[in-house]
């Protein structure tokens, strides 16, 4: 699994330059693309859908970059918020078309090490995907930001327009609610 740096050096300056210079935007794109792609892919389970939604996300980021001002939230949180809104739109449209068969959602082949590990991973993924919709929308959102997007508390707070303290409390409650549903579904928490 590849690890990417958490912070982009001189990001604020780069953002200002990117408002006038496409090559500076390319640096932002290259830094955030793998993170946003991973976030969306984990939520959709489809390479094609993830590619489409990432393209839409970055077109929106590029088109609205002139509107971005650092006012207590990071550029990354802003990009994740746009990606999340695109995911929500995608699922709303998809819900009108047909139901998603979560049994067909698979991990990329490169992530499959051993058949037993893969099978266990698929069972866990299926359980998580069955439990998440049972949680209230705020809990779903904060858990997606934390565990799928791997955002830090302050980034989640910015993306959700809440204080960091409220974010911690909400995350704790979401995890308790998830654990309750997980236990009720016949699984035991460790």
Least confident range from 36-50, 121-135, 172-186: namely 121-135
Q: Which fold has domain 1-100?
A: Rna Polymerase Sigma Factor; Chain: A (1.10.1740)
pTM for the complete prediction? 0.56
Cα torsion 175, 166, 85, 44 to 10°: value is -20
Mean pLDDT of the chain: 79
Radius of gyration of the chain (CA): 18
Highest-scoring range by mean pLDDT, 31-40, 61-70, 85-94: 31-40
H-helix segments, 19-163 = 22-44, 47-64, 75-97, 115-131, 137-143, 153-160
Contacts of 25 (CB under 8 A, 6+ apart): 18, 62, 65
Domain boundaries, the chain: 1-100, 112-190
pLDDT of residue 128: 72
pLDDT, tens only, 113-146: 556 665 665 666 677 777 888 888 888 888 878 7
CATH number of 112-190: 1.10.10.10
Query: For residue 7, what pLDDT is reported?
Result: 65
189 φ, ψ to 5°?
-80, 150
Give the whole-number percent of the chain exceeding pLDDT 70: 76
Averaged pLDDT for residues 85-93: 84
Q: What are phi and psi of 107, to 5 degrees?
A: -80, 155
């Amino acid at each position: 699994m590849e690890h990417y740096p958490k912070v982009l050096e001189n990001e604020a300056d780069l953002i200002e330059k990117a408002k006038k210079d496409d090559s500076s935007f390319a640096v932002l794109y290259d830094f955030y693309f793998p993170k946003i792609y991973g976030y969306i892919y984990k939520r959709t389970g489809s390479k094609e859908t993830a590619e489409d939604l990432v393209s839409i996300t970055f077109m929106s980021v590029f088109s609205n970059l002139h509107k971005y001002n650092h006012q207590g939230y990071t550029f990354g949180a802003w990009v994740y918020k746009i990606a999340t809104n695109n995911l929500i739109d995608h699922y709303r449209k998809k819900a009108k078309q047909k139901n998603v068969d979560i049994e067909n959602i698979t991990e990329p082949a490169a992530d499959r090490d051993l058949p037993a590990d893969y099978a266990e991973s698929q069972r866990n993924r299926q359980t998580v995907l069955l439990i998440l919709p049972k949680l209230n929308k705020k809990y779903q959102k904060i858990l997606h930001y934390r565990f799928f997007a791997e955002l830090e508390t302050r980034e989640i707070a910015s993306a959700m327009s809440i204080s960091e303290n409220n974010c911690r409390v909400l995350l704790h409650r979401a995890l308790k609610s998830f654990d309750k549903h997980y236990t009720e579904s016949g699984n035991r928490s460790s």
